[in-house]
Amino acid sequence: MTVDVPTLYIVILTNCVAIGLVWLFVVRAHPNLIAGRIWMAGAFVGAGGAGASMLREVAVPLIAILVGNGLLILASCLSWIGTRQFLGEKRPWLATAAITLGSLPALALFTVWQNDIAARIVIYSIGQCIPLGFAMADLLSRREGRRTPGMMLAATAMGFVVVGDIFRAVLATTGTGGPLSFLNFNSVQSAFLLTTLFGAMVWNFGFLLMTIDRLRNEIIHLAVLDDLTGIANRRRFIQRLDEECSRSCRTGQPFTLLAIDLDGFKGINDRYGHQAGDACLRQFTDGALLRLRGHDLLARTGGDEFCVILPATGLKAAEAVARSLVESAREQWLDWEGEALRTTVSIGLAEWSKRMGRDTGVLMALADEALYEAKRAGRDTFISAGRDRLFKMLEAQSKPAAATGS
């Protein structure tokens, strides 16, 4: 059974246009999604290639072959370029030009010099397999730290097309499946050509899943960041504090919490305005981040209130960090409209212990009490909560519970 080639390409054109329209609405909703624009362009370029291939009966054969196959190969290259853009890698424009333009002389050679449709199928298959193979490698490279379901789906679909192209080329070379002509393919070649269409649809669904996953992660990321300083907000701080308490309960390894207040911050706001206050907050944040380790958490929990979580850090080591933060703030001066502004900090420290368990409230209360003591001591200093204070706090909590139980 032979299949009319223009009919096949009508199906391909229709599906490519549909995919392109989906990406058009996606990029209109998310204009910063550059990869989506490239994938959209690939879909419409593929539609153009299918449209040119449909004109075999009315156009000069050489033009229909070169334009149609060239655009379809370019569409596969654009899928690779979009993948690289999504992963934050260099976009392979030169490789794309080499693959696309390099296939054209070979296609022309086996159209004009020798009309060999099997050779053209091999050339087209090679031109499509190269970018798809590289795109598969990029998707499976774990550059993003993990292979998402969307990446796996897109890579699998591309692999499906690559295998189909290889079989298609081999079968065309060996003459398996029946005769081939300019306007008609045998049923085997038609089936493998349709696998390309199916694969393109599926890998674009994979791209959509990748996009949805990233957008969801960005929303989650923004939900736990402070708008002004860019560090963690109170919501993220509470989450991380719960995580550290649970980890310490499992391992028995302590960690330390620092509660921080900017001294004299209200006076700066009242005298110089909130913009000056905001600048002071950002300046303190930038200086503090330089004194902390990568896995420490600095969070803004209120107007001029900050907290630091120091994982796997005992009280003595945490005091060295607190001293560094106090000295850093003391040395920072902000030039504001010709005046030098300075804000010192007061810090209260509290170390997790087994008696606290997963009760984050006790740890936070200890750090806050130590902070207030630092302020009463004259500010611009740090004070650690001792174990006796912890015992008193736990005892005070147990008394109301005992009275309720009696």
**pLDDT, tens digit, for every residue of 207-240?**
999 999 999 888 887 788 888 999 999 999 999 9
High-pLDDT (> 70) share of the chain, %: 89
Above 50 in pLDDT, residue 403? no
| φ, ψ for residue 356, nearest 5 deg | -75, -35
Give the number of other CB atoms < 10 A from CB of residue 155: 21
Q: What is the pLDDT of residue 195?
A: 82
pLDDT in tens, 139-169: 998 665 668 899 999 999 999 999 999 988 8
**Residue 276, Ramachandran bin (φ over 0: left; ψ between -120 and 50: alpha; else beta):** alpha
Q: What is the pLDDT of residue 223?
A: 83
The tokens of 318 are what? 């945490």
Q: What is the pLDDT of residue 401?
A: 44
pLDDT in tens, 383-399: 998 765 655 555 555 55
Q: What is the pLDDT of residue 402?
A: 43
What's the Cα-to-Cα distance from 341 to each of 269, 330, 380, 397, rounded to whole Å?
11, 11, 15, 42
Q: How many residues does the chain have?
A: 406
Please provide the average confidence, as pLDDT, over all residues in the chain.
Answer: 87
Tell the residue number behind the tokens 């560090």, with chain if given. Answer: 231
Helical H runs in 87-116? 93-108
Q: pLDDT class for 290, splitting at 50, 70, 90?
A: very high
CATH class as words, domain 2-223:
mainly alpha
Q: What is the pLDDT of residue 28?
A: 95
Q: What is the pLDDT of residue 306?
A: 96
- DSSP symbol at 351: E
d(CA 63, CA 59): 7
Q: Which residue has the higher pLDDT, 3 or 55?
A: 55
- DSSP symbol at 89: P
d(CA 206, CA 212): 10
- The model's pTM is 0.70
Comma-separated ranges of CATH 3.30.70.270 domains in the chain: 234-405
The tokens of 63 are what? 């033009």
Q: Hey, which CATH number is domain 234-405, 3.90.950.10, 3.30.70.270, 3.40.640.10, 3.40.50.300? A: 3.30.70.270
Pairing of strands 297-300, 184-186: unpaired
pLDDT in tens, 332-374: 888 887 788 888 999 999 999 888 878 888 899 999 999 999 9
The helix or strand, by DSSP H or E, that contains position 32, with its residue range, turns out to be none
Q: Which of 185-194, 197-206, 322-331 has the lowest mean pLDDT?
A: 185-194
What's the Cα-to-Cα distance from 390 to each of 109, 115, 355, 362, rounded to whole Å?
86, 89, 9, 8
Comma-separated ranges of CATH 1.20.1070 domains in the chain: 2-223
Instruction: Identify the CA nearest to 203 among candidates 70, 88, 44, 76.
Output: 76
Tell the residue number behind the tokens 């692999």, with chain if given. Answer: 159
